[in-house]
């Protein structure tokens, strides 16, 4: 008996996930439909998804879902069968039904036992359908009244929830396959649909075998893989010791071979586990067409959204955390970036604004670009506001380069009504975007050109759990610096270090680059040499977007693969520490948060 209950529980969980996926899939289709006009393939896809949700919900006894899906499906069926055409009103009410289904699924997920009053929505759906039908007049067309009447009665018997007014509508042109003798128009449509079906059949989709696995299990495997990496690293160290001291022993050679094999397998395991957590970023993007539609409608602008690279795979945690910042950037682009239609026409631009989301993998990073073809950021105005707000002094503002000035929008407190309208400025500003992205160890930068547009570029490391790091030492303590933002390492002599207005800098390939002592950054006071500067220093050059800075350390120890363990109770926003790891020799080492460092340091020196 308990087995059966567990089975039911699992089925319900699966249903929720699958239904949510279906809704995610159909929502952008609707927006696409609105843009492209009525496309029968799209309409059939939409109808089928809604239909399936209803069917499964019926089995599981989720009557509220059945009712909403049923009313919504009725509209989709008539749309698919060309009995009515898509209007903004229908679209709005259908999107509402999708929202309601999501809400109902949330209740199921939370098991909160809460019920929603769906009656008003069901009524609204039916009214919208009736209005659409009386608007087209197709309903009055003589079809096969007797046949249709029977069909409606049958349907009513099976679906007791069906309201009489919808049941009474003649269901002509119901199914193309079933159309044997009707009007010429109907026949033509049948042929079209049959052709479409044939087209579909000719491109059979690949059906990969999928297995749904609880994310906790994957995370557990991820965690264990991390531990294996740590053990591997220790073993590598120990085997090196044996190789040094007992190289004559034949067993040492065997040990070295075995360890090197383990080394390779561990790396493969790591990649395999990492891939298990990767999902196409499409999951996040699917809500954007709807969002763009809603935002552009509310500010009365025409916007086209173009998305490239939606198949790019990213870590699950990226999927979970990138949605909000991207939403915020999109809002910002539409609300502030794009001009009003009149302004665009006056400027000789196409009346419809364009927002492009471009996603791609670059080395070990995922790059997400959101660009608009709007007016660009008015830097002088931005500076002025920042001075008024007390975020900048006038002198700072004057010295500030344009690139640095665009970053003002990421400053906490910059998002006020002067900067943002109601829409984008609901208490949260672009600084939240920055914070969210740095939580993913990523960074965001902005480039803008007057009247050409603005681009936000987000860069995020591919995986968050295991990273390649450069091990460095300062005052006898080891630290790990994530490898991906490191541009190069150098050995510099004392003479190469210059001082400009109190800030140490060095010149690298004709570019001035600020230099910081790691020891001082970490709050250890001095540079650890009691004023006796050594002749040479090792520096690590970090590049975060267009910003570069150098960190001076005592020595470079080499590259190591480290597993990030988060630290409880450490304020990572102020300590420049991202987490910790256990190295090959079994010691706990801090991993430095260079993204945070970059942010803080550039705030300080305002370069």
Q: Which long-range contacts (CB under 8 A, 24 or more apart) does 29-38 make?
A: 30/91, 30/94, 30/95, 30/98, 30/290, 31/289, 31/290, 31/292, 31/293, 32/289, 33/86, 34/86, 34/88, 34/91, 34/293, 35/304, 38/79, 38/82, 38/85, 38/86
304 is catalytic: no
Binding span for another protein by CB under 8 A among 6-14, 108-116, 461-469, 549-557: 6-14
Q: Using the minimum distance from each CB to another protein, give the nearer residue, 148 or 279.
A: 148
Distance CA 553, CA 551 (A): 6
Determine which one of 233, 332, 436, 519 is catalytic: 332
Site for another protein in 88-147 (CB under 8 A): 147
Q: Is 178 in the site for another protein (CB under 8 A)?
A: yes
Q: Which of 48, 287, 490, 600 binds another protein (CB under 8 A)?
A: 48
Of 32, 34, 51, 124, which residue is the catalytic one?
A: 51
With CB under 8 A as the contact rule, the residue among 23, 31, 43, 56 that binds another protein is 56
Active site residue 51: yes
Q: Which of 304, 320, 78 is nearest to 175 (CA)?
A: 78
CB of 215 to another protein, least distance (A): 18
Q: Whole-number minimum distance, CB 479 to another protein, in Å? A: 48
Q: Which is nearer to another protein, 197 or 236 (CB)?
A: 197
If the CB atoms of residues 52 and 340 are measured against another protein, the closer one turns out to be 52
Position 45 contacts another protein (CB under 8 A)? yes
Residue 462 beta carbon to another protein: minimum distance, rounded to whole angstroms:
29
Rounded-to-integer distance, Cα 314 and Cα 47, Å = 30
Assess 52 for contact with another protein (CB under 8 A). Answer: yes
For the CB of residue 42, give the shortest distance to another protein in the complex, in Å: 12
| Contact between 174 and another protein per CB under 8 A | yes
Q: Count other Cβ atoms within 10 Å, centred on residue 56.
A: 19
Neighbouring residues of 550: CB distance < 8 A, sequence distance ≥ 6: 506, 508, 513, 514, 515, 516, 539, 540, 541, 542
- Residue 2 tokens, joined: 């308990």
Q: Do 516 and 551 meet the contact criterion of CB atoms below 8 Å apart?
A: yes
Q: Which of residues 154-173 bind another protein (CB under 8 A)?
A: 154-155, 158-159, 171
Using the rule CB under 8 A, is 177 a contact of another protein? Answer: yes
Judged by CB, which is closer to another protein: 169, or 262?
169
Q: Least distance in Å: CB of 18 to another protein?
A: 5
- Report the C-alpha gap between 15 and 3 in whole angstroms: 18
The smaller minimum CB distance to another protein, of residues 175 and 258, is found at 175
Alpha-carbon distances of 200 from 33, 52, 81, rounded to whole Å: 19, 19, 18
Residues paired with 389 in a beta bridge: none
Q: Can you tell me whether residue 266 is helix, strand or coil? A: helix
**What's the rounded Cα separation, in Å, for the pair 219 and 528?**
41
Site string for another protein, 191-230 (x = CB under 8 A): ------x--xx--xx-x-----------------------
Nearer to another protein, 19 or 386 (CB): 19
Pull the structure tokens for residue 577.
């520490």
Query: Active site residue: 27, 73, 171, 189, which one?
Result: 73
Nearer to another protein, 165 or 488 (CB): 165
Give, in degrees to the nearest 5, the angle at Cα 511 between 509 and 513. Answer: 115
Taking the complex as a whole, the smallest distance from the CB of residue 49 to another protein amounts, in Å, to: 9
Q: Identify which of residues 7 and 402 has a Cβ nearer to another protein in the complex.
A: 7
Angle between helices 250-276 and 215-245 (to 10 degrees): 160
User: Of the candidates 103, 151, 221, 567, which one interacts with another protein according to CB under 8 A?
Assistant: 151
**Near another protein by CB under 8 A, which window of 149-157, 296-304, 399-407, 576-584?**
149-157
Helix ranges (H only) for 250-393 are 250-276, 282-285, 288-298, 316-332, 341-346, 379-388
The answer to whether 85 and 100 have CB atoms below 8 angstroms apart is: no
- For residues 407 and 379, give the distance between their C-alpha atoms in angstroms, rounded to a whole number: 10
Helices 119-136 and 88-110 pack at an angle, to 10 degrees, of: 160
Q: Does 60 bind another protein (CB under 8 A)?
A: yes
- What are the backbone dihedrals phi and psi of residue 511, each rounded to the nearest 5 degrees, phi first? -115, 135
**One of 58, 280, 528, 545 touching another protein (CB under 8 A):** 58
Choose which of 6, 7, 294, 533 interacts with another protein (CB under 8 A): 7
User: What is the C-alpha end-to-end distance of the chain, expressed in Å?
Assistant: 69
d(CA 49, CA 59): 16
Q: What count of residues does the chain have?
A: 607
Residue 15 lies near another protein (rule: CB under 8 A): yes
Taking CB under 8 A as the binding criterion, the range among 9-17, 257-265, 291-299, 467-475 that sits at the site for another protein is 9-17
Whether 332 is a known active-site residue: answer yes
Window 18-37: contact mask with another protein (x via CB under 8 A): xx--x---------------
**Binders of another protein: how many residues, by CB under 8 A?**
37
Active site residues: 51, 73, 332
Residues at the contact surface with another protein, assessed by CB under 8 A: 7, 11, 14-15, 18-19, 22, 45, 48, 51-56, 58-60, 147, 150-151, 154-155, 158-159, 171, 174-175, 177-178, 180, 197, 200-201, 204-205, 207
């Amino acid at each position: 008996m308990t087995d059966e209950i567990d089975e039911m529980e699992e089925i319900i969980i699966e249903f929720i996930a699958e239904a949510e996926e279906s809704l995610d899939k159909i929502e952008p289709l609707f927006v696409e439909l609105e843009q492209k006009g009525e496309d029968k393939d799209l309409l059939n896809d939409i109808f089928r998804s809604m239909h399936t949700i209803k069917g499964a919900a019926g089995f599981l006894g989720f009557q509220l879902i059945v009712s909403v899906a049923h009313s919504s499906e009725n509209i989709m069926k008539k749309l698919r069968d060309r009995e009515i055409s898509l209007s903004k009103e229908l679209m709005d009410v259908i999107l509402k039904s999708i929202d309601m289904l999501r809400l109902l699924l949330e209740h199921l997920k939370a098991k909160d036992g809460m019920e929603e009053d769906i009656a008003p929505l069901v009524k609204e759906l039916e009214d919208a359908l009736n209005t659409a039908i009386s608007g087209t007049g197709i309903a009055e067309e003589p079809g096969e009244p007797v046949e249709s009447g029977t069909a409606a009665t049958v349907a009513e018997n099976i679906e007791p929830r069906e309201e009489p007014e919808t049941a009474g509508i003649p269901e002509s042109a119901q199914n193309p396959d079933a159309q044997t003798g009707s009007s010429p128009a109907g026949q033509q449509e049948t042929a079209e649909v049959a052709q479409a079906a044939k087209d579909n059949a000719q491109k059979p989709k690949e059906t990969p075998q999928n297995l749904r696995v609880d994310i906790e299990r994957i995370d557990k495997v991820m965690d264990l893989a991390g531990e294996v990496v740590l053990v591997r690293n220790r073993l590598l160290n120990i085997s090196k010791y044996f190789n040094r001291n007992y190289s004559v022993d034949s067993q040492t050679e065997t040990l070295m071979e075995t360890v090197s094999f383990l080394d390779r397998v561990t790396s493969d395991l790591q990649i395999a586990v990492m891939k298990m957590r990767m999902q196409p970023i499409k999951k996040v993007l699917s809500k954007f067409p709807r969002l763009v539609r809603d935002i552009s409608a509310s500010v009365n602008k025409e916007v086209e959204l173009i998305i490239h690279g939606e198949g790019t795979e990213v870590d699950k945690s990226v999927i979970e955390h990138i949605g909000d910042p991207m939403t915020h950037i999109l809002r910002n682009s539409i609300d502030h970036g794009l001009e009003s239609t009149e302004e665009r026409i006056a400027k000789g631009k196409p009346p419809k604004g364009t927002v492009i989301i471009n996603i791609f993998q670059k080395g070990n990073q995922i790059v997400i670009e959101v660009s608009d073809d709007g007016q660009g950021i008015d830097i002088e105005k931005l500076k002025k506001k920042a001075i008024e707000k007390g975020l900048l002094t006038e002198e700072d503002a004057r010295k500030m380069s344009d690139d640095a000035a665009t970053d003002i929008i990421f400053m906490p407190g910059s998002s006020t009504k002067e900067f943002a309208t109601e829409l984008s400025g609901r208490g949260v500003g672009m600084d939240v975007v920055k914070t969210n992205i740095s939580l993913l160890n990523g960074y965001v930068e902005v480039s803008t050109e007057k009247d050409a547009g603005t681009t936000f570029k987000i860069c995020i490391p591919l995986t968050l759990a295991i990273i390649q790091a450069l091990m460095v030492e300062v005052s006898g303590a080891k630290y790990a610096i994530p490898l991906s933002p490191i541009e190069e390492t150098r050995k510099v002599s004392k003479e190469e270090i210059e001082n400009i207005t109190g800030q140490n800098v060095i010149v690298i390939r004709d570019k001035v680059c600020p230099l910081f002592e790691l020891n001082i950054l970490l709050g250890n006071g001095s540079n650890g040499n009691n004023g006796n500067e050594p002749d040479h220093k090792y520096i690590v050059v970090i590049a975060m977007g267009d910003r570069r800075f150098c960190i001076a350390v005592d020595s470079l120890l080499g590259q190591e693969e480290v597993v990030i363990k988060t630290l409880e109770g450490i304020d990572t926003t102020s300590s420049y520490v991202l987490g910790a790891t256990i190295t090959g020799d079994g010691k706990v080492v801090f991993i430095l948060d260079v993204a945070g460092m970059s942010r803080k340091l550039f705030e300080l020196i305002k370069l």
